[in-house]
Amino acid sequence: MNLETRITHNPLQCGGKPCIRGMRIRVSDILQMLGEGVGSEEILRDFPDLEQQDIQACLLYAARRANLERLVA
């Protein structure tokens, strides 16, 4: 599975916020946990349906959004 396809958008789920593989796990929640110092291993224990590639996809999504915002500004 391509990392980009792991991030989904559904206007009827989680207020249309980006989620991971159609689950109700928001990208922003994973990024916030990483930013607060929670390790990938702990996140994977807390969310057993997640895979390491999902965390990588969140980071890639954030990096691409940051680059996009920089280009628009």
Tens of pLDDT, residues 5-28:
999 999 999 999 999 999 999 999
* The pLDDT of residue 45: 98
**Where along the chain do its domains lie?**
3-72
Pair 3, 56: CB distance under 8 Å: yes
So what's the architecture of 3-72 in CATH? Answer: Orthogonal Bundle (1.10)
> Which residues, in sequence order, are CB contacts of 30 under 8 Å at separation 6+?
20, 43, 50, 54, 55, 58
| Model confidence, pTM | 0.88
Nearest to 54 by CA among 20, 9, 29, 28: 20
At residue 67, the pLDDT reads: 85
Q: What is the pLDDT at residue 69?
A: 65
pLDDT for 27 equals: 98
Return the residue matching tokens 């391509």. Answer: 2
